[in-house]
Structure 1
Amino acid sequence: MNPAYQYDVHLPAHMDPDKKYPVVFTLHGKGSNERNVFGLVAPLADHFIIIGIRGNLPLGAGYQYYELKSLGNPIREMFDDAVKQLEGFIRYATEKYPIDSDKRYLLGFSQGAILSMTLALTMGDQLRGIVALNGYVPDFVKTEYPLRSVKDVSFFVSHGEHDSVFPVRIGHETAAYFKDQTPLLTFHLYPTDHGVSEENQLDVLNWLKKDAGLITNLE
């Protein structure tokens, strides 16, 4: 199988050939790239497989996974295709690399967060957890997609209090939506615009480490 996306894979430096590892798939924001997000989770690289998925549509100097009709309004056909292709990519990578299929995480920022949360809803407990940074769930996903239960999926959802792209009320609405569906929700606000602060990053790293059951000090 040829994957639908170009990607970077970072394997632990001292891999045990008899062991399977937790994985973080990263999904970047609109106009960015896979290397931009790697920095957020690089401190986990000795303990996780990290796979950065590059959007397959060029946009300026970067990439995107789908195009928009307007802000917050994806072109439906392109969005649907991205969700299907990303599901296929996750299966492809799980077969190709020594990945523990019970510990598959998605981490996305902005457009990547939108897709990560959508994939949680379409894949259910095939995923262990989601980190969604400054995103939302499109209304058509909530009302028209065939959704799976996420009661056993862990969520770390965060939003910037001063986000000028997706206002903070969207973060509150997203948290409220998932609070009704899973007891495994962590929600934080940070005094930032549409970005990820150092405090936010540290909270994400600690959350992933704890959720995956790692007790080794990663510092």
Structure 2
Amino acid sequence: MNSPMIYELQKPSHMEPNKKYPALFVMHGIGSNEQDMFSLLEGLKDTFYIFSVRGHLSHPPGYAYFTIQGYGKPHREVFDNGINQLTSFIDYAVEQYNVDSDHLYLLGFSQGAIVSMTLGLTLGNRMKGIVALSGYIPSFVKAEYNTKPVNQISLFISHGECDNILPYEWGVESKEYFESLYAQVTFKTYSEGHTVSIENQQDFTNWLLADLAK
């Protein structure tokens, strides 16, 4: 079976034979690539299979998972296709690698956070946790997608209070939306703009390791 998307894989440095490991699927921001996110994941590399997935659309100087027709409005057909391809990639990774299908996590920044939260809604409790850094949930996803129960999913949602790309209020809306669906949400805010601070990185790293230990 060929991979439906280009990706970079980092495995735990000391692996025990026949042991299954948790998987972390990582999605980058628009115009970036699969290499960009690894600098944020130093504290997780010995614990997870980390699949950093390249967006399938060219968006110089990098790539994207979907295109945008207006502020906060992805092109629906392109977005749907991106979600379908990412879903197929998760299926591929679980089938091809020795990962623990009960411990699947999603992590994304900006556009990567948007697709991560959407995948959480479409895959539901198949996911164990989601880290969504500075994203939002498109309105058509909430209104029209066939979403699954998320009452067993844990989320770490963070947003910069001075974000001038995706407004801080959109992060609050994401938090409230998942809470309304009975997901367990940790919501963190930072004084920065549209970026991931060192404090934010430390917080989500600690959150992921603590959630995995539950």
TM-score range normalised by the length of the shorter chain: over 0.9
Check if 1:169 corresponds to 2:169. yes
Q: Does the 8 Å CA contact 2:150/2:183 hold for their aligned counterparts?
A: no
Q: Does the 8 Å CA contact 1:161/1:193 hold for their aligned counterparts?
A: yes
Structure 2's unaligned 5+ residue stretches are none
Q: Does the 8 Å CA contact 1:4/1:56 hold for their aligned counterparts?
A: no
Check if 1:129 corresponds to 2:129. yes
Structure 2 partner of 1:217: none
Could you tell me the TM-score, scaled by structure 2's length? 0.97
Structure 1 CA distance for aligned equivalents of residues 52 and 93 of structure 2: 11
Could you tell me the TM-score, scaled by structure 1's length? 0.95
Structure 2 partner of 1:34: 34
3-state DSSP of counterpart to 2:136: coil
Q: Does the 8 Å CA contact 1:125/1:152 hold for their aligned counterparts?
A: yes
Counterpart AA for 1:81: N
Q: Does the 8 Å CA contact 1:9/1:50 hold for their aligned counterparts?
A: yes
Structure 2 partner of 1:43: 43
Structure 2 CA distance for aligned equivalents of residues 94 and 146 of structure 1: 22
The 1:125/1:67 distance shift into structure 2, 3 A limit, reads: same
Q: CA deviation at 1:183?
A: 4.5
Q: CA deviation at 1:40?
A: 1.1
Structure 1 partner of 2:16: 16
How many residue pairs get aligned? The number is: 214
The residue correspondences of 1:150-161 to structure 2 (distance < 5 A) are 150-161=150-161
Q: Does the 8 Å CA contact 1:105/1:129 hold for their aligned counterparts?
A: yes
CA offsets 1:62-112 (integer angstroms, 9 cap, x no match) = 100111112311111110011111111001001111100010000000101
The residue correspondences of 1:40-189 to structure 2 (distance < 5 A) are 40-189=40-189
Q: Does the 8 Å CA contact 1:190/1:200 hold for their aligned counterparts?
A: yes
CA offsets 1:162-191 (integer angstroms, 9 cap, x no match) = 000111111111111111112511001111
**Identity among equivalent pairs (%):** 49
The 1:213/1:56 distance shift into structure 2, 3 A limit, reads: same
Moved more, 175-184 or 6-15: 175-184
The 1:183/1:67 distance shift into structure 2, 3 A limit, reads: closer
3-state DSSP of counterpart to 2:23: strand
Q: CA deviation at 1:16?
A: 0.7
Q: Does the 8 Å CA contact 2:155/2:183 hold for their aligned counterparts?
A: no
Counterpart AA for 1:114: I
3-state DSSP of counterpart to 1:176: helix
Moved more, 168-177 or 140-149: 168-177
Structure 2 partner of 1:7: 7
Counterpart AA for 1:198: I
The residue correspondences of 1:203-218 to structure 2 (distance < 5 A) are 203-213=203-213
Moved more, 109-118 or 38-47: 38-47
Measured on the aligned residues, the alpha-carbon RMSD in Å equals 1.0
Counterpart AA for 2:174: T
Structure 2 CA distance for aligned equivalents of residues 142 and 12 of structure 1: 36
3-state DSSP of counterpart to 2:170: helix
